[in-house]
Structure 1
Amino acid sequence: MGSPNSDGAAGGPATRARIEEALSRLVRENRFTIAVVFPLVGAALFVLSYEEVLLPPWLAMNPVLILFGTAVMRLPLVAGLAPLVNRKAGAGLLLVTGYSYFIEYVGVHYGVPYGEFSYQLQLGPMVGGVPIGLPVFFLPLVLNSYLLVLLLLPRASRAKRTLAALALVLVVDFVLDPAAVGLGFWQYDGGGFYYGVPLSNFQGWVLSGFVAVSVIEWGFDTEELATRLETCEFALDDFVSFVVLWGAMNAYFGHWIAVALAVGLSAGLVRTDRFDFVGVGRERPEQS
Protein backbone atom coordinates (compact mmCIF):
# COMPACT_ATOMS: atom_id res chain seq x y z
CA MET A 1 0.00 0.00 0.00
CA GLY A 2 1.38 3.40 -0.99
CA SER A 3 1.88 6.24 1.44
CA PRO A 4 -1.18 8.48 1.97
CA ASN A 5 0.54 11.43 0.36
CA SER A 6 1.07 9.54 -2.88
CA ASP A 7 -2.61 9.40 -3.78
CA GLY A 8 -2.93 12.44 -5.98
CA ALA A 9 -3.63 15.86 -4.49
CA ALA A 10 -3.83 19.18 -6.34
CA GLY A 11 -0.32 20.59 -6.63
CA GLY A 12 1.30 17.25 -5.93
CA PRO A 13 2.46 15.43 -2.79
CA ALA A 14 4.92 18.16 -1.80
CA THR A 15 2.22 20.85 -1.81
CA ARG A 16 -0.13 18.62 0.13
CA ALA A 17 2.57 17.89 2.71
CA ARG A 18 3.21 21.62 3.17
CA ILE A 19 -0.51 22.30 3.67
CA GLU A 20 -0.80 19.46 6.18
CA GLU A 21 2.27 20.68 8.05
CA ALA A 22 0.92 24.25 8.18
CA LEU A 23 -2.46 23.05 9.45
CA SER A 24 -0.80 20.87 12.11
CA ARG A 25 1.34 23.80 13.23
CA LEU A 26 -1.72 26.07 13.43
CA VAL A 27 -3.57 23.53 15.58
CA ARG A 28 -0.58 22.70 17.78
CA GLU A 29 0.15 26.36 18.53
CA ASN A 30 -3.50 27.07 19.42
CA ARG A 31 -4.56 23.85 21.14
CA PHE A 32 -5.93 25.37 24.33
CA THR A 33 -7.84 28.06 22.43
CA ILE A 34 -9.43 25.54 20.08
CA ALA A 35 -10.09 22.73 22.55
CA VAL A 36 -11.15 24.74 25.61
CA VAL A 37 -11.73 28.44 24.94
CA PHE A 38 -13.91 27.95 21.86
CA PRO A 39 -16.32 25.47 23.48
CA LEU A 40 -16.55 27.56 26.67
CA VAL A 41 -17.32 30.70 24.67
CA GLY A 42 -19.84 28.67 22.65
CA ALA A 43 -21.52 27.42 25.83
CA ALA A 44 -21.72 30.99 27.18
CA LEU A 45 -23.26 32.24 23.93
CA PHE A 46 -25.76 29.37 23.95
CA VAL A 47 -26.83 30.23 27.50
CA LEU A 48 -27.16 33.94 26.73
CA SER A 49 -29.15 33.14 23.58
CA TYR A 50 -31.41 30.75 25.48
CA GLU A 51 -32.03 33.26 28.25
CA GLU A 52 -32.61 36.01 25.65
CA VAL A 53 -30.46 38.51 27.51
CA LEU A 54 -27.61 40.81 26.54
CA LEU A 55 -27.11 39.47 23.03
CA PRO A 56 -28.50 41.41 20.06
CA PRO A 57 -31.07 39.44 18.02
CA TRP A 58 -28.73 38.93 15.08
CA LEU A 59 -26.15 37.25 17.32
CA ALA A 60 -28.44 34.99 19.35
CA MET A 61 -28.26 31.41 18.00
CA ASN A 62 -26.67 32.75 14.83
CA PRO A 63 -26.44 29.70 12.51
CA VAL A 64 -23.38 30.98 10.66
CA LEU A 65 -21.56 31.53 13.95
CA ILE A 66 -22.57 28.06 15.18
CA LEU A 67 -21.26 26.46 11.98
CA PHE A 68 -18.05 28.50 12.11
CA GLY A 69 -17.36 27.66 15.75
CA THR A 70 -18.03 23.99 15.12
CA ALA A 71 -15.70 23.99 12.11
CA VAL A 72 -12.90 25.56 14.15
CA MET A 73 -13.25 22.91 16.86
CA ARG A 74 -13.03 20.24 14.12
CA LEU A 75 -9.61 21.47 12.94
CA PRO A 76 -7.58 19.13 15.19
CA LEU A 77 -9.46 16.12 13.83
CA VAL A 78 -8.93 17.29 10.24
CA ALA A 79 -5.23 17.95 10.82
CA GLY A 80 -4.82 14.65 12.63
CA LEU A 81 -6.37 12.51 9.91
CA ALA A 82 -5.32 14.45 6.81
CA PRO A 83 -2.00 12.61 6.23
CA LEU A 84 -3.86 9.27 6.18
CA VAL A 85 -6.58 10.20 3.70
CA ASN A 86 -5.72 8.31 0.53
CA ARG A 87 -8.20 7.29 -2.19
CA LYS A 88 -9.74 4.49 -0.14
CA ALA A 89 -10.09 6.54 3.04
CA GLY A 90 -11.42 9.47 1.02
CA ALA A 91 -13.98 7.21 -0.60
CA GLY A 92 -15.01 5.97 2.84
CA LEU A 93 -15.46 9.52 4.13
CA LEU A 94 -17.52 10.42 1.05
CA LEU A 95 -19.69 7.34 1.55
CA VAL A 96 -20.34 8.24 5.18
CA THR A 97 -21.08 11.83 4.15
CA GLY A 98 -23.59 10.70 1.54
CA TYR A 99 -25.12 8.27 4.00
CA SER A 100 -25.47 11.00 6.65
CA TYR A 101 -27.43 13.21 4.22
CA PHE A 102 -29.61 10.30 3.13
CA ILE A 103 -30.47 9.01 6.59
CA GLU A 104 -31.12 12.54 7.89
CA TYR A 105 -33.42 13.35 4.97
CA VAL A 106 -35.35 10.13 5.57
CA GLY A 107 -35.48 10.90 9.27
CA VAL A 108 -36.78 14.45 8.81
CA HIS A 109 -39.44 13.53 6.24
CA TYR A 110 -40.48 10.02 7.25
CA GLY A 111 -39.54 9.68 10.92
CA VAL A 112 -37.24 6.71 10.26
CA PRO A 113 -35.03 5.56 11.96
CA TYR A 114 -34.85 8.19 14.71
CA GLY A 115 -38.54 8.87 15.24
CA GLU A 116 -40.58 11.91 14.25
CA PHE A 117 -38.48 15.06 14.70
CA SER A 118 -37.92 18.44 13.10
CA TYR A 119 -35.24 21.10 13.19
CA GLN A 120 -36.31 24.15 15.19
CA LEU A 121 -33.19 26.12 14.32
CA GLN A 122 -31.43 26.42 10.99
CA LEU A 123 -27.89 25.15 11.54
CA GLY A 124 -26.57 27.01 8.52
CA PRO A 125 -28.04 26.71 5.01
CA MET A 126 -30.73 24.02 4.71
CA VAL A 127 -31.63 21.89 1.67
CA GLY A 128 -34.67 19.63 1.81
CA GLY A 129 -34.92 20.25 5.54
CA VAL A 130 -31.35 19.00 6.14
CA PRO A 131 -28.40 21.28 7.05
CA ILE A 132 -25.77 21.46 4.31
CA GLY A 133 -23.16 21.42 7.08
CA LEU A 134 -24.49 18.11 8.47
CA PRO A 135 -21.19 16.20 7.94
CA VAL A 136 -19.42 18.78 10.13
CA PHE A 137 -21.75 17.71 12.94
CA PHE A 138 -22.19 13.98 12.16
CA LEU A 139 -18.84 12.65 10.94
CA PRO A 140 -16.72 13.76 13.94
CA LEU A 141 -19.07 12.03 16.40
CA VAL A 142 -18.28 8.71 14.74
CA LEU A 143 -14.62 9.38 13.96
CA ASN A 144 -13.78 10.55 17.48
CA SER A 145 -15.49 7.50 18.98
CA TYR A 146 -13.60 5.17 16.68
CA LEU A 147 -10.25 6.86 17.37
CA LEU A 148 -10.72 6.72 21.14
CA VAL A 149 -11.54 3.00 20.93
CA LEU A 150 -8.33 2.44 18.93
CA LEU A 151 -6.37 4.00 21.78
CA LEU A 152 -8.25 2.27 24.58
CA LEU A 153 -8.41 -1.17 22.93
CA PRO A 154 -5.32 -1.42 20.70
CA ARG A 155 -5.39 -5.22 20.51
CA ALA A 156 -9.13 -5.69 20.00
CA SER A 157 -10.37 -7.69 17.02
CA ARG A 158 -12.20 -5.93 14.20
CA ALA A 159 -15.58 -7.13 15.51
CA LYS A 160 -14.89 -6.03 19.09
CA ARG A 161 -13.50 -2.71 17.91
CA THR A 162 -16.59 -2.04 15.80
CA LEU A 163 -18.97 -2.90 18.64
CA ALA A 164 -16.99 -0.81 21.14
CA ALA A 165 -16.96 2.16 18.77
CA LEU A 166 -20.70 1.78 18.22
CA ALA A 167 -21.28 1.73 21.98
CA LEU A 168 -19.20 4.88 22.33
CA VAL A 169 -21.16 6.59 19.53
CA LEU A 170 -24.34 5.89 21.51
CA VAL A 171 -22.80 7.37 24.66
CA VAL A 172 -21.85 10.45 22.65
CA ASP A 173 -25.43 10.83 21.45
CA PHE A 174 -26.73 10.36 25.00
CA VAL A 175 -24.64 13.45 25.82
CA LEU A 176 -25.40 15.50 22.70
CA ASP A 177 -29.10 15.00 22.07
CA PRO A 178 -30.64 16.16 25.38
CA ALA A 179 -28.65 19.40 25.36
CA ALA A 180 -29.47 20.03 21.68
CA VAL A 181 -33.17 19.46 22.39
CA GLY A 182 -32.94 21.76 25.41
CA LEU A 183 -31.43 24.51 23.26
CA GLY A 184 -34.13 24.04 20.62
CA PHE A 185 -31.87 22.79 17.84
CA TRP A 186 -34.42 20.08 17.08
CA GLN A 187 -37.48 18.60 18.72
CA TYR A 188 -39.08 15.15 18.83
CA ASP A 189 -42.82 14.90 18.38
CA GLY A 190 -44.26 13.86 21.73
CA GLY A 191 -40.92 14.28 23.52
CA GLY A 192 -39.21 11.28 25.06
CA PHE A 193 -38.15 9.50 28.23
CA TYR A 194 -34.59 10.84 28.24
CA TYR A 195 -34.76 14.61 28.68
CA GLY A 196 -37.17 14.91 25.76
CA VAL A 197 -35.39 12.35 23.57
CA PRO A 198 -37.30 9.14 22.69
CA LEU A 199 -35.91 5.61 22.66
CA SER A 200 -36.41 5.49 18.88
CA ASN A 201 -33.62 8.05 18.44
CA PHE A 202 -31.06 5.79 20.07
CA GLN A 203 -32.36 2.77 18.18
CA GLY A 204 -31.82 4.77 15.00
CA TRP A 205 -28.28 5.59 16.07
CA VAL A 206 -27.53 1.89 16.41
CA LEU A 207 -28.15 1.62 12.66
CA SER A 208 -26.48 4.90 11.69
CA GLY A 209 -23.51 4.33 13.95
CA PHE A 210 -22.95 0.76 12.80
CA VAL A 211 -22.96 1.74 9.12
CA ALA A 212 -20.66 4.73 9.67
CA VAL A 213 -18.19 2.87 11.91
CA SER A 214 -18.07 -0.08 9.50
CA VAL A 215 -17.27 2.19 6.55
CA ILE A 216 -14.55 3.99 8.52
CA GLU A 217 -13.09 0.64 9.55
CA TRP A 218 -13.03 -0.33 5.87
CA GLY A 219 -11.59 2.95 4.62
CA PHE A 220 -8.66 3.53 6.95
CA ASP A 221 -5.62 1.36 7.57
CA THR A 222 -5.95 0.53 11.27
CA GLU A 223 -2.21 0.20 11.93
CA GLU A 224 -1.40 3.52 10.26
CA LEU A 225 -4.25 5.16 12.16
CA ALA A 226 -3.05 3.77 15.50
CA THR A 227 0.49 4.99 14.78
CA ARG A 228 -0.78 8.42 13.88
CA LEU A 229 -2.76 8.62 17.11
CA GLU A 230 0.34 7.75 19.14
CA THR A 231 2.46 10.44 17.45
CA CYS A 232 -0.13 13.21 17.01
CA GLU A 233 -0.92 14.71 20.41
CA PHE A 234 -3.89 16.79 19.23
CA ALA A 235 -5.75 14.16 17.18
CA LEU A 236 -8.56 13.89 19.75
CA ASP A 237 -8.75 17.55 20.79
CA ASP A 238 -12.11 17.77 19.01
CA PHE A 239 -13.41 15.15 21.45
CA VAL A 240 -12.12 17.35 24.30
CA SER A 241 -14.12 20.25 22.83
CA PHE A 242 -17.21 18.05 22.65
CA VAL A 243 -16.94 17.04 26.32
CA VAL A 244 -16.39 20.65 27.44
CA LEU A 245 -19.22 22.16 25.39
CA TRP A 246 -21.95 19.57 25.79
CA GLY A 247 -20.98 18.64 29.32
CA ALA A 248 -21.37 22.30 30.25
CA MET A 249 -24.70 22.63 28.46
CA ASN A 250 -26.14 19.54 30.12
CA ALA A 251 -25.02 20.88 33.50
CA TYR A 252 -26.82 24.13 32.70
CA PHE A 253 -30.06 22.27 31.96
CA GLY A 254 -29.64 19.93 34.92
CA HIS A 255 -29.32 16.81 32.76
CA TRP A 256 -27.17 15.04 35.31
CA ILE A 257 -27.14 11.62 33.67
CA ALA A 258 -25.78 13.23 30.51
CA VAL A 259 -23.23 15.14 32.60
CA ALA A 260 -22.10 11.88 34.21
CA LEU A 261 -21.67 10.32 30.76
CA ALA A 262 -19.63 13.34 29.63
CA VAL A 263 -17.41 12.85 32.68
CA GLY A 264 -17.06 9.20 31.67
CA LEU A 265 -15.91 10.26 28.20
CA SER A 266 -13.42 12.66 29.76
CA ALA A 267 -12.05 9.77 31.86
CA GLY A 268 -11.31 7.86 28.66
CA LEU A 269 -9.53 10.90 27.23
CA VAL A 270 -7.50 11.33 30.43
CA ARG A 271 -6.52 7.66 30.34
CA THR A 272 -5.16 8.10 26.82
CA ASP A 273 -3.31 11.30 27.80
CA ARG A 274 -5.48 13.58 25.67
CA PHE A 275 -5.79 16.45 28.16
CA ASP A 276 -2.17 17.51 27.74
CA PHE A 277 -2.83 20.79 25.86
CA VAL A 278 -1.82 22.84 28.90
CA GLY A 279 1.73 21.61 28.38
CA VAL A 280 1.81 22.38 24.67
CA GLY A 281 5.59 22.56 24.76
CA ARG A 282 5.68 18.82 25.54
CA GLU A 283 5.22 17.63 21.97
CA ARG A 284 5.25 14.11 20.69
CA PRO A 285 7.36 13.44 17.58
CA GLU A 286 5.43 14.15 14.40
CA GLN A 287 4.80 11.28 12.03
CA SER A 288 6.50 11.80 8.68
Structure 2
Amino acid sequence: MDEALLRYRWPLAALLVIAGLGLANAPLRPEVWWVSALAILVFSTPVIVGAVRWLGPRGGIGLLVALGLYALVVESVAVATGLPYGRFSYSQVLGPPLLGLAPPTVLLAWTPLILGALAMTRRAWVAVVLLVAVDLVLDPAAVLLGFWSWDEPGIYYGVPLINFFGWVLSGGIAVLALRRLPRPVPGLFARNLWLVLVFWSSVNLWSGQWLPAAVGLVMLIVLAPRYRRVP
Protein backbone atom coordinates (compact mmCIF):
# COMPACT_ATOMS: atom_id res chain seq x y z
CA MET A 1 0.00 0.00 0.00
CA ASP A 2 2.85 2.39 0.77
CA GLU A 3 4.26 1.77 -2.69
CA ALA A 4 0.89 2.65 -4.20
CA LEU A 5 0.75 5.95 -2.32
CA LEU A 6 4.24 6.77 -3.54
CA ARG A 7 3.66 5.75 -7.13
CA TYR A 8 0.19 7.23 -7.58
CA ARG A 9 0.58 10.34 -5.43
CA TRP A 10 -0.65 12.87 -7.99
CA PRO A 11 -3.51 10.81 -9.45
CA LEU A 12 -4.74 10.19 -5.90
CA ALA A 13 -4.44 13.89 -5.09
CA ALA A 14 -6.39 14.76 -8.25
CA LEU A 15 -9.16 12.32 -7.30
CA LEU A 16 -9.38 13.85 -3.83
CA VAL A 17 -9.64 17.36 -5.27
CA ILE A 18 -12.53 16.16 -7.44
CA ALA A 19 -14.11 14.46 -4.42
CA GLY A 20 -13.75 17.73 -2.50
CA LEU A 21 -15.54 19.55 -5.32
CA GLY A 22 -18.36 17.03 -5.21
CA LEU A 23 -18.78 17.24 -1.46
CA ALA A 24 -18.66 21.05 -1.45
CA ASN A 25 -21.48 21.18 -3.99
CA ALA A 26 -23.54 18.26 -2.68
CA PRO A 27 -23.12 17.95 1.12
CA LEU A 28 -24.05 14.63 2.66
CA ARG A 29 -27.46 14.14 4.23
CA PRO A 30 -28.02 12.40 7.59
CA GLU A 31 -29.83 9.48 5.97
CA VAL A 32 -26.68 8.56 3.99
CA TRP A 33 -24.34 8.79 6.98
CA TRP A 34 -22.82 5.48 5.90
CA VAL A 35 -21.11 7.33 3.02
CA SER A 36 -19.14 9.49 5.45
CA ALA A 37 -18.38 6.40 7.55
CA LEU A 38 -17.06 4.66 4.45
CA ALA A 39 -14.93 7.68 3.56
CA ILE A 40 -13.42 7.71 7.06
CA LEU A 41 -12.66 4.00 6.72
CA VAL A 42 -10.93 4.62 3.37
CA PHE A 43 -8.74 7.35 4.87
CA SER A 44 -7.99 5.10 7.83
CA THR A 45 -7.11 1.98 5.83
CA PRO A 46 -3.45 2.95 5.19
CA VAL A 47 -3.03 3.60 8.91
CA ILE A 48 -4.63 0.29 9.85
CA VAL A 49 -2.38 -1.60 7.42
CA GLY A 50 0.68 0.39 8.47
CA ALA A 51 0.10 -0.11 12.19
CA VAL A 52 -0.22 -3.89 11.81
CA ARG A 53 2.94 -4.09 9.70
CA TRP A 54 4.80 -1.83 12.11
CA LEU A 55 3.84 -3.34 15.45
CA GLY A 56 2.43 -6.72 14.43
CA PRO A 57 -1.26 -7.69 14.54
CA ARG A 58 -1.59 -7.57 18.31
CA GLY A 59 0.40 -4.39 18.85
CA GLY A 60 -1.00 -2.58 15.82
CA ILE A 61 -4.63 -3.35 16.60
CA GLY A 62 -4.03 -2.53 20.25
CA LEU A 63 -2.63 0.88 19.29
CA LEU A 64 -5.56 1.63 17.00
CA VAL A 65 -8.13 0.59 19.61
CA ALA A 66 -6.42 2.64 22.32
CA LEU A 67 -6.23 5.78 20.17
CA GLY A 68 -9.78 5.30 18.94
CA LEU A 69 -11.20 4.93 22.44
CA TYR A 70 -9.15 7.92 23.63
CA ALA A 71 -10.60 10.09 20.84
CA LEU A 72 -14.14 8.83 21.48
CA VAL A 73 -13.91 9.53 25.22
CA VAL A 74 -12.43 13.02 24.73
CA GLU A 75 -15.05 13.92 22.12
CA SER A 76 -17.88 12.57 24.28
CA VAL A 77 -16.67 14.52 27.32
CA ALA A 78 -16.42 17.66 25.18
CA VAL A 79 -20.00 17.26 23.94
CA ALA A 80 -21.25 16.66 27.49
CA THR A 81 -19.25 19.34 29.30
CA GLY A 82 -17.77 21.72 26.75
CA LEU A 83 -14.22 20.78 27.73
CA PRO A 84 -11.71 20.93 26.17
CA TYR A 85 -13.12 22.06 22.79
CA GLY A 86 -16.06 24.22 23.80
CA ARG A 87 -19.66 23.12 23.90
CA PHE A 88 -20.64 21.60 20.58
CA SER A 89 -22.72 18.77 19.15
CA TYR A 90 -22.54 16.30 16.30
CA SER A 91 -25.19 16.03 13.64
CA GLN A 92 -26.35 12.68 12.23
CA VAL A 93 -24.13 13.08 9.14
CA LEU A 94 -21.30 11.04 10.69
CA GLY A 95 -23.67 8.46 12.09
CA PRO A 96 -25.98 8.23 15.12
CA PRO A 97 -24.11 9.55 18.20
CA LEU A 98 -23.55 7.01 20.97
CA LEU A 99 -25.64 7.99 23.99
CA GLY A 100 -26.36 11.25 22.21
CA LEU A 101 -22.70 12.30 22.41
CA ALA A 102 -20.14 11.31 19.75
CA PRO A 103 -20.67 8.97 16.78
CA PRO A 104 -18.68 5.71 16.59
CA THR A 105 -16.92 6.97 13.44
CA VAL A 106 -14.76 9.05 15.79
CA LEU A 107 -12.99 5.79 16.64
CA LEU A 108 -11.20 5.98 13.26
CA ALA A 109 -11.37 9.64 12.27
CA TRP A 110 -8.75 11.12 14.61
CA THR A 111 -6.15 8.36 14.60
CA PRO A 112 -4.75 9.03 11.07
CA LEU A 113 -4.17 12.66 12.08
CA ILE A 114 -2.13 12.02 15.22
CA LEU A 115 -0.10 9.18 13.72
CA GLY A 116 0.46 11.19 10.55
CA ALA A 117 1.75 14.13 12.57
CA LEU A 118 4.13 11.85 14.49
CA ALA A 119 5.40 10.42 11.21
CA MET A 120 6.12 13.89 9.84
CA THR A 121 8.48 14.89 12.66
CA ARG A 122 10.52 13.46 15.51
CA ARG A 123 9.86 16.48 17.76
CA ALA A 124 6.86 16.14 20.04
CA TRP A 125 6.00 19.83 20.15
CA VAL A 126 6.20 20.11 16.37
CA ALA A 127 3.80 17.17 16.04
CA VAL A 128 1.30 18.97 18.30
CA VAL A 129 1.63 22.21 16.32
CA LEU A 130 1.15 20.25 13.09
CA LEU A 131 -1.94 18.55 14.49
CA VAL A 132 -3.49 21.90 15.40
CA ALA A 133 -2.62 23.28 11.96
CA VAL A 134 -4.43 20.34 10.37
CA ASP A 135 -7.49 21.25 12.43
CA LEU A 136 -7.32 24.82 11.11
CA VAL A 137 -8.08 23.25 7.74
CA LEU A 138 -10.42 20.45 8.77
CA ASP A 139 -12.80 22.09 11.24
CA PRO A 140 -14.06 24.96 9.05
CA ALA A 141 -14.91 22.51 6.28
CA ALA A 142 -16.61 20.10 8.67
CA VAL A 143 -18.71 22.92 10.18
CA LEU A 144 -19.71 24.13 6.73
CA LEU A 145 -20.78 20.61 5.76
CA GLY A 146 -22.81 20.26 8.95
CA PHE A 147 -20.79 17.48 10.55
CA TRP A 148 -20.83 19.32 13.87
CA SER A 149 -21.46 22.81 15.25
CA TRP A 150 -20.79 24.86 18.37
CA ASP A 151 -23.51 26.23 20.61
CA GLU A 152 -21.74 29.59 20.39
CA PRO A 153 -20.05 29.79 16.97
CA GLY A 154 -16.56 31.23 16.99
CA ILE A 155 -14.85 33.83 14.84
CA TYR A 156 -12.93 31.33 12.70
CA TYR A 157 -15.60 30.08 10.32
CA GLY A 158 -17.82 29.16 13.22
CA VAL A 159 -15.03 27.52 15.22
CA PRO A 160 -14.21 29.06 18.64
CA LEU A 161 -10.61 29.60 19.65
CA ILE A 162 -11.01 27.33 22.68
CA ASN A 163 -11.28 24.43 20.24
CA PHE A 164 -7.68 24.87 19.13
CA PHE A 165 -6.42 25.10 22.70
CA GLY A 166 -8.32 21.88 23.27
CA TRP A 167 -6.46 20.27 20.38
CA VAL A 168 -3.17 21.34 21.95
CA LEU A 169 -4.22 19.62 25.18
CA SER A 170 -5.64 16.40 23.71
CA GLY A 171 -2.92 16.17 21.06
CA GLY A 172 -0.19 16.88 23.60
CA ILE A 173 -1.41 14.13 25.92
CA ALA A 174 -1.52 11.65 23.03
CA VAL A 175 1.95 12.60 21.77
CA LEU A 176 3.45 12.21 25.25
CA ALA A 177 1.72 8.86 25.69
CA LEU A 178 3.10 7.65 22.36
CA ARG A 179 6.73 8.58 23.04
CA ARG A 180 7.64 4.96 23.72
CA LEU A 181 6.53 3.75 20.31
CA PRO A 182 9.32 2.36 18.13
CA ARG A 183 11.00 4.87 15.84
CA PRO A 184 10.80 5.77 13.08
CA VAL A 185 7.05 5.97 12.70
CA PRO A 186 6.11 4.54 9.27
CA GLY A 187 6.18 7.06 6.43
CA LEU A 188 2.91 5.58 5.23
CA PHE A 189 1.19 7.56 7.99
CA ALA A 190 2.77 10.81 6.78
CA ARG A 191 1.75 10.20 3.18
CA ASN A 192 -1.80 9.43 4.25
CA LEU A 193 -1.96 12.67 6.26
CA TRP A 194 -0.75 14.68 3.26
CA LEU A 195 -3.56 13.24 1.15
CA VAL A 196 -6.09 13.97 3.91
CA LEU A 197 -4.93 17.59 3.77
CA VAL A 198 -5.41 17.62 0.00
CA PHE A 199 -9.03 16.57 0.45
CA TRP A 200 -9.99 19.04 3.19
CA SER A 201 -8.08 21.89 1.58
CA SER A 202 -9.99 21.30 -1.65
CA VAL A 203 -13.34 21.27 0.20
CA ASN A 204 -12.48 24.68 1.64
CA LEU A 205 -11.29 25.94 -1.73
CA TRP A 206 -14.41 24.89 -3.62
CA SER A 207 -16.56 26.31 -0.81
CA GLY A 208 -14.90 29.72 -0.98
CA GLN A 209 -13.36 29.46 2.50
CA TRP A 210 -10.14 31.09 1.44
CA LEU A 211 -8.20 31.27 4.70
CA PRO A 212 -8.39 27.57 5.66
CA ALA A 213 -7.79 26.72 1.99
CA ALA A 214 -4.65 28.88 2.04
CA VAL A 215 -3.49 27.31 5.31
CA GLY A 216 -3.95 23.89 3.75
CA LEU A 217 -2.06 24.86 0.58
CA VAL A 218 0.88 26.20 2.58
CA MET A 219 0.98 23.02 4.65
CA LEU A 220 0.88 20.86 1.53
CA ILE A 221 3.80 22.76 0.03
CA VAL A 222 5.84 22.70 3.26
CA LEU A 223 5.17 19.01 3.90
CA ALA A 224 5.52 17.87 0.28
CA PRO A 225 9.25 17.03 0.59
CA ARG A 226 8.43 14.77 3.54
CA TYR A 227 6.07 12.72 1.36
CA ARG A 228 8.96 10.82 -0.21
CA ARG A 229 11.73 11.37 2.29
CA VAL A 230 10.03 9.86 5.33
CA PRO A 231 10.98 6.15 5.32
- Unpaired runs of at least 5, structure 1: 1-22, 51-58, 151-160, 276-283
Larger Rg, first or second structure (1 or 2): 1
Q: What is the aligned partner in structure 1 of residue 215 from structure 2?
A: 261
SS of alignment partner, residue 168 of structure 1: helix
SS of alignment partner, residue 126 of structure 1: coil
Aligned positions of 1:151-230 closer than 5 A: 161-218=123-180, 220-223=181-184, 225=185, 228-229=186-187
Quick one: which of 122, 125, 137 aligns to 2:109?
A: 137
CA distance in 2, matches of 1:251, 1:221: 37
1:40 partner letter = V
| Residue 19 of structure 2 corresponds to residue 42 of structure 1 | yes
CA displacement at 1:97 relative to structure 2: 2.0
CA distance in 1, matches of 2:76, 2:34: 21
Q: What is the aligned partner in structure 2 of residue 238 from structure 1?
A: 192
2:90 partner letter = Y
SS of alignment partner, residue 103 of structure 1: helix
Aligned positions of 1:105-120 closer than 5 A: 105-120=76-91
2:105 partner letter = G
Quick one: which of 72, 75, 82 aligns to 1:104?
A: 75
SS of alignment partner, residue 169 of structure 1: helix
Q: What is the aligned partner in structure 2 of residue 250 from structure 1?
A: 204
1:199–1:273 distance in 2 versus 1, CA, 3 Å: closer
Contact 1:142 1:209 in 2 (8 A): yes
Percent of residue pairs identical: 29
CA displacement at 1:214 relative to structure 2: 1.7
CA distance in 2, matches of 1:107, 1:269: 30
**TM-score w.r.t. length of structure 1:** 0.69
Quick one: which of 50, 53, 77 aligns to 1:80?
A: 50
SS of alignment partner, residue 115 of structure 1: coil
| Residue 99 of structure 2 corresponds to residue 122 of structure 1 | no
Contact 2:140 2:159 in 1 (8 A): yes
Contact 2:21 2:206 in 1 (8 A): no
CA displacement at 1:39 relative to structure 2: 2.4
1:91–1:78 distance in 2 versus 1, CA, 3 Å: closer
In terms of mean alpha carbon deviation, does 140-149 or 123-132 score higher?
123-132
- Unpaired runs of at least 5, structure 2: none
Q: What is the aligned partner in structure 1 of residue 34 from structure 2?
A: 64
CA displacement at 1:195 relative to structure 2: 1.0
Instruction: List structure 1 runs of 4+ shifted beyond 6 angstroms.
Output: none
CA distance in 2, matches of 1:46, 1:271: 28
CA displacement at 1:271 relative to structure 2: 1.7
SS of alignment partner, residue 222 of structure 1: coil
Contact 1:144 1:238 in 2 (8 A): yes
Q: How large is the RMSD of aligned CA atoms in angstroms?
A: 2.8
